[in-house]
């Protein structure tokens, strides 16, 4: 009995994890001091994991989380000294056509998907080897920067999901099964996924990209909750607070 | 007791075969199809609210897409049409027209539909289009997407507990239950697909009913399916294939043949005997206005000559004109098989087109080129002159002038 419990504990401890993986332009220096940051409408989705493992979106949770994440972003940026505007809607930017904002969002979606494929999903491109992060939104982004005076644009997507009672019950059965020789300790299914993408509006380039995954393989154990103040702050912190400079910048710093 | 893998597979296979051949899916009756929502409907339960919230974002993207055809006359026509055949929630539904040359339309759970331009091309009259719009409206009125989601949630929930239960029981008894669980999984998937087919059958039955209630001939829907089957057959034949007739068990939609048959019976049930129905062909063509050539052009460029020929000939059942003859020529010119004499057939198409007063300028251009190729210089020049007269600012006007002088 003791051996099983120990094995379980180990597997539980191993299976809960939080990881981030960031890439930066080789010449990227994290924004400091008096910079102007435009946060594009954050895309937040929160749902419940059904017994069968499907994620069911929840409107009320999503609304709460969106508000909390925006508040956490504001607080985090204030600490860094940035001058920040968070767009709650596509028309939150005076003097800028919401359709132009929509176009830029769609363009970023395409570019972001390409980064996800070639940097994170294993389809590495030999032409981009050793170049850090080498993607751009081009002239449209520069035009937005010129028009509004912002230095950076941040694109943010965050998902969170929580195991339903049924899912937790299934997990309990799965663990109980370990005592009769049918062991399913890692049903999982709930967790956080988020990404952030920083675009330099003076050059149009995507200068920094980060992906956060936080989840537990055991249904019912949470690794964060963006519906709460603390949870939203934790997610924003995990995602944005440890920006590393680009490779060339790091090398120059080491050489000195 | 222990099951061998082979015996299980055999049992599963015969079970599947029995349900595919033995038992036909019953027709849904139009009279049973009452709307589940009224005017001004909003999401009620948490799962539905979550779905609606997601769909608001989807609609935002769809409505801003650059694939949309935004011709104001045509979009207001489509809006009026769904407002007419959409039953109690007619005024709440929206239609977006996307430039995609395929036969398709989609309804989203919040009541907005996307109609593909390829659908408008294939409709011979307003009644046929109203039939498809009524089918899509029925998805919204019967809350199909929500019911489908709930069905999937329920069945995957059950499957999960059954799978864990089987594992536990197997663990206690010391038997490997994995095969049984796999069979259960197959059963779950088949059952989800079956539900999907039921939903489509419901939308067909209710569509027929909505169509009749709006004063259209309910038979228009089965006509549309007849056309689709004919098109698929000819398209396949030209590719030296047979029309894809998959195993119904694994399909999301009932087969076109069974849908057509059911639609016919259902239409007969709700059709008023002795009444003459107007198909409103003129009104439809008027609404299509100037986009019909674009629709035909998108179709012939798909490199699917069988389908294109079928579509052109189906539209021509209401009478040939210069536009249809021109695109008939285009089908053969683009297939370009010397063995099948496509050039001659194309030339005949263009020659026939220019005999009509509504022949597009390009018909004259291609007619001229074909004449030139067969050595009839003088006639070719006359055709080119007509082309330049109709389209003096054509991008290739200078080139054509040179061909005439050279």
Say what percent of chain A tops pLDDT 70: 94
Query: What is the pLDDT confidence band of residue A15, given thresholds at 50, 70 and 90?
Result: low
Answer yes or no: is the ipTM higher than 0.85. no
Q: A-chain residues within 8 Å CB-CB of B171?
A: 177, 180-182
3-state secondary structure chain B: CCCCHHHHHHHHHHHHHHHHHCCCCCCCCHHHCCCCCCCCCCCCCHHHHHHHHHHHHHHHHHHCCCCECCCHHHHHHHHHHHHHHCHHHHHHCEEEEECCCCCCEEECCCCEEEEEHHHHHHCCCHHHHHHHHHHHHHHHHCCHHHHHHHHHHHHHHHHHHHHHHHHHHHHHHCCCCHHHHHHHHHHHHHHHHHHHHHHHHHHHHHHHHHHHHCCCCCCHHHHHHHHHHHHHHHHHHHCCCCCCCCCHHHCCCCCHHHHHHHHHHHHHHHCCCCCCCCCCHHHHHHHHHHHHHHHHHHHHCCCCHHHHHHHHHHHHHHCCCHHHHHHHHHHHHHHCCCCCCHHHHHHHHHHHHCCCCCCCHHHHHHHHHHHHHCCCHHHHHHHHHHHHHHCCCCCCHHHHHHHHHC
pLDDT of residue A16: 64
Interface-testing mutation among B65, B152, B167, B172, with chain A (most A C-beta atoms within 10 A): B167
Entry pTM: 0.85
pLDDT of residue B233: 92
Query: What is the pLDDT confidence band of residue A173, given thresholds at 50, 70 and 90?
Result: confident
A202 in a domain, yes or no? yes
Please give, rounded to a whole number of angstroms, the shortest distance from the CA of B151 to a CA of chain A: 12
Lowest mean pLDDT among A84-93, A215-224, B13-22, B253-262: B13-22
Query: What is the pLDDT confidence band of residue B248, given thresholds at 50, 70 and 90?
Result: low
What whole-number distance in Å separates Cα of residue A102 and Cα of residue B207?
36
Q: Does position A161 have pLDDT exceeding 60, yes or no?
A: yes
Query: What is the pLDDT confidence band of residue A59, given thresholds at 50, 70 and 90?
Result: very high
Among residues A50, A137, A22, A226, the alpha carbon closest in space to that of B161 is found at A50
List pLDDT tens digits, range B192-238. Answer: 888 888 999 999 999 999 999 999 999 999 999 999 999 999 999 99
pLDDT of residue A47: 94
List pLDDT tens digits, range B35-72. Answer: 999 999 999 999 999 999 999 999 999 998 889 999 99
- Is A59–B52 a contact, with Cβ atoms under 8 angstroms apart? yes
Question: Looking at chain B from residue 272 to 331, which residues have their Cβ under 8 Å from any Cβ of chain A?
Answer: none
The count of domains in chain A is: 1
A162 in a domain, yes or no? yes
Q: Does position B393 have pLDDT exceeding 70, yes or no?
A: yes
pLDDT of residue A5: 40
Question: Looking at chain A from residue 63 to 102, which residues have their Cβ under 8 Å from any Cβ of chain B?
Answer: 63, 99, 102
CB pairs under 8 A between A and B: 74
- Is A50–B49 a contact, with Cβ atoms under 8 angstroms apart? no
Mean pLDDT comparison of A186-190, A191-195, A210-214, B296-300, highest-scoring range: B296-300
The pLDDT of B315-337, averaged and rounded, is 96
- Is B164–A58 a contact, with Cβ atoms under 8 angstroms apart? no
Interface-testing mutation among B164, B169, B172, B184, with chain A (most A C-beta atoms within 10 A): B164
B178-213 and B256-270 helices, crossing angle to 10°: 40
Q: Does position B309 have pLDDT exceeding 50, yes or no?
A: yes
- Is B171–A181 a contact, with Cβ atoms under 8 angstroms apart? yes
The pLDDT of A150-163, averaged and rounded, is 94
Q: A-chain residues within 8 Å CB-CB of B165?
A: 173
More confident residue, B170 or A29: A29
- Is B153–A52 a contact, with Cβ atoms under 8 angstroms apart? yes
Q: A-chain residues within 8 Å CB-CB of B64?
A: 99, 102
pLDDT of residue B25: 67
pLDDT of residue A58: 95
The pLDDT of B22-37, averaged and rounded, is 81
List pLDDT tens digits, range A217-239. Answer: 787 788 889 999 999 999 999 99
Listed by start position, the domains of chain B span: 5-270, 290-405
More confident residue, B233 or B16: B233
- Asked if B164 has any chain A CB less than 8 Å from its own CB, the reply is yes
CB-closest option in A50, A57, A177 to B54: A57
- Asked if A50 has any chain B CB less than 8 Å from its own CB, the reply is yes
Mean pLDDT comparison of A62-71, A74-83, B169-178, highest-scoring range: A62-71
List pLDDT tens digits, range B106-165. Answer: 999 999 999 999 999 999 999 999 999 999 999 999 999 999 999 999 999 899 888 888
Say what percent of chain B tops pLDDT 90: 73
Q: B-chain residues within 8 Å CB-CB of A186?
A: none
Please give, rounded to a whole number of angstroms, the shortest distance from the CA of B46 to a CA of chain A: 6
What whole-number distance in Å separates Cα of residue B319 and Cα of residue B316?
5
Which top CATH class is B290-405? mainly alpha
C-beta contacts of B5-11 below 8 A and 24+ residues apart = B5/B179, B8/B179, B8/B180, B8/B183, B11/B183
- Asked if A229 has any chain B CB less than 8 Å from its own CB, the reply is no
Please give, rounded to a whole number of angstroms, the shortest distance from the CA of B2 to a CA of chain A: 17
The pLDDT of A81-109, averaged and rounded, is 91
Say what percent of chain A tops pLDDT 90: 61
Among residues A227, A239, A213, A212, the alpha carbon closest in space to that of A162 is found at A227
CB-closest option in A63, A99, A166 to B64: A99
pLDDT of residue A3: 46
Compute the mean pLDDT over every residue in chain A, rounded to the nearest whole number: 88
CB-closest option in A50, A57, A182 to B157: A50
Compute the mean pLDDT over every residue in chain B, rounded to the nearest whole number: 89
Chain A: residue whose CA lies nearest to B66? A103
Q: Does position B22 have pLDDT exceeding 50, yes or no?
A: no
Interface-testing mutation among A41, A44, A53, A180, with chain B (most B C-beta atoms within 10 A): A180
pLDDT of residue B167: 83
Question: Looking at chain B from residue 16 to 45, which residues have their Cβ under 8 Å from any Cβ of chain A?
Answer: 43
Please give, rounded to a whole number of angstroms, the shortest distance from the CA of A7 to a CA of chain B: 18
- Asked if B153 has any chain A CB less than 8 Å from its own CB, the reply is yes
pLDDT of residue A191: 87
- Asked if A184 has any chain B CB less than 8 Å from its own CB, the reply is yes
Q: Give the DSSP letter string of chain A.
A: -HHHHHHHHHHHHHH-EEEEEEEEBTT-----SS-EEEE---EEEEEEE-TTS-EEE-HHHHHHHHHHHHHHHHHHHHHHT-EEEE-SSTT-STTS-HHHHHHHHHHHHHHHHHHIIIIISS---GGGTTSBS-EE-THHHHHHHHHH--SEEEEEEEEEEEE-HHHHHHHHHHHHGGGTT---------EEEEEEEEEETTT-EEEEEEEEEEE-SSTT--S--TTSHHHHHHHHHHHHTTPPPPHHHHHHHHH-
Lowest mean pLDDT among A166-175, A242-251, B224-233: A166-175
Q: Does position B329 have pLDDT exceeding 90, yes or no?
A: yes
Chain B: residue whose CA lies nearest to A48? B47
Query: What is the pLDDT confidence band of residue A204, given thresholds at 50, 70 and 90?
Result: very high
- Is B155–A52 a contact, with Cβ atoms under 8 angstroms apart? yes
- Asked if A166 has any chain B CB less than 8 Å from its own CB, the reply is yes
Lowest mean pLDDT among A209-213, B178-182, B276-280, B327-331: B178-182
Lowest mean pLDDT among A99-108, B8-17, B347-356: B8-17
List pLDDT tens digits, range A109-133. Answer: 999 999 989 998 888 999 988 889 9
- Is A52–B170 a contact, with Cβ atoms under 8 angstroms apart? no
- Asked if B155 has any chain A CB less than 8 Å from its own CB, the reply is yes
- Asked if B159 has any chain A CB less than 8 Å from its own CB, the reply is yes
Give me the CATH number covering residue A127: 3.30.160
Tokens of B403: 């061909």
Domain of A73?
22-250
């Amino acid at each position: 009995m003791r051996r099983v419990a120990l094995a379980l504990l180990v597997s539980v401890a191993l299976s809960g994890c939080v990881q981030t993986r960031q890439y930066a332009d080789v010449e990227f220096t994290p924004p400091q001091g008096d910079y102007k940051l435009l946060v594009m409408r954050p895309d937040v989705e929160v749902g419940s994991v059904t017994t069968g493992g499907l994620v069911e979106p929840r409107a009320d949770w999503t609304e709460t989380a969106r508000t909390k994440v925006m508040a956490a972003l504001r607080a985090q940026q204030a600490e860094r000294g940035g001058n920040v505007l968070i767009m709650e809607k596509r028309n939150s930017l005076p003097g800028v056509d919401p359709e132009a904002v929509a176009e830029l969002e769609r363009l970023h979606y395409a570019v972001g998907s390409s980064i996800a494929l070639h940097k994170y999903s294993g389809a590495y491109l030999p032409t981009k080897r050793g170049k850090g992060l080498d993607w751009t939104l081009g002239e449209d982004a520069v035009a937005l920067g010129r028009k509004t005076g912002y230095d950076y644009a941040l694109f943010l997507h965050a998902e969170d999901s929580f195991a339903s009672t049924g899912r937790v019950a299934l997990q309990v059965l799965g663990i109980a099964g370990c005592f009769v020789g049918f062991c399913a300790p890692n049903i999982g299914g709930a967790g956080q996924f988020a990404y952030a993408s920083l675009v330099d509006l003076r050059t149009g380039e995507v200068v920094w990209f980060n992906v956060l995954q936080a989840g537990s393989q055991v249904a019912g154990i949470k690794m964060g909750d963006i519906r709460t103040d603390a949870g939203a702050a934790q997610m924003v912190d995990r995602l944005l607070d440890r920006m590393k400079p680009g490779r060339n910048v790091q090398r120059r710093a080491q050489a000195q | 007791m222990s099951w061998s893998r082979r015996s299980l597979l055999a049992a599963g296979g015969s079970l599947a075969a029995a349900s595919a051949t033995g038992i036909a899916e019953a027709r849904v009756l139009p009279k049973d199809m009452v709307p589940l929502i009224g005017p001004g409907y909003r999401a009620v339960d948490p799962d539905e609210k979550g779905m609606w919230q997601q769909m608001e974002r989807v609609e935002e993207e769809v409505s801003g897409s650059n694939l949309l055809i935004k011709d104001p006359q045509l979009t207001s026509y489509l809006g009026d049409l769904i407002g007419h055949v959409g039953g109690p929630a007619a005024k709440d539904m929206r239609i977006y027209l996307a430039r995609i040359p395929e036969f398709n339309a989609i309804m989203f759970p919040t009541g907005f539909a996307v109609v593909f331009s390829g659908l408008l091309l294939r409709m011979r009259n307003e009644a046929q289009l109203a039939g498809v719009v009524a089918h899509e409206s029925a998805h919204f009125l019967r809350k199909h997407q929500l019911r489908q989601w709930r069905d999937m949630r329920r069945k995957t929930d059950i499957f999960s507990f059954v799978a864990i239960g089987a594992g536990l029981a197997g663990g206690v008894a010391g038997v490997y239950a994995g095969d049984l669980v796999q069979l259960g999984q197959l059963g779950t998937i088949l059952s989800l697909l079956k539900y999907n087919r039921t939903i489509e059958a419901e939308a067909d039955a209710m569509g027929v009913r909505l169509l009749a209630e709006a004063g259209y001939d309910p038979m228009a829907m089965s006509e549309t399916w007849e056309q689709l089957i004919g098109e698929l057959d000819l398209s396949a034949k030209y590719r030296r294939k047979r029309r894809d007739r998959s195993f119904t068990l694994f399909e999301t939609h009932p087969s076109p043949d069974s849908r057509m048959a059911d639609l016919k019976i259902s239409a007969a049930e709700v059709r008023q005997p002795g009444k003459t129905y107007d198909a409103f062909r003129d009104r439809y063509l008027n609404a299509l206005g100037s986009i019909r050539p674009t629709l035909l052009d998108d179709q012939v460029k798909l490199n699917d000559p069988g389908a294109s020929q079928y579509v052109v000939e189906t539209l021509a059942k209401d009478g040939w004109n210069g536009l249809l003859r021109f695109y008939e020529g285009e089908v053969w010119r683009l297939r370009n098989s010397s063995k099948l004499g496509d050039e001659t057939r194309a030339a005949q198409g263009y020659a026939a087109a220019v005999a009509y007063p509504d022949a597009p300028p390009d018909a004259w251009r291609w007619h001229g080129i074909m004449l030139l190729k067969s050595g009839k210089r003088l006639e070719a020049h006359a055709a080119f002159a007509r082309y330049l007269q109709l389209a003096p600012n054509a991008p290739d006007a200078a080139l054509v002038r040179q061909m005439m002088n050279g």
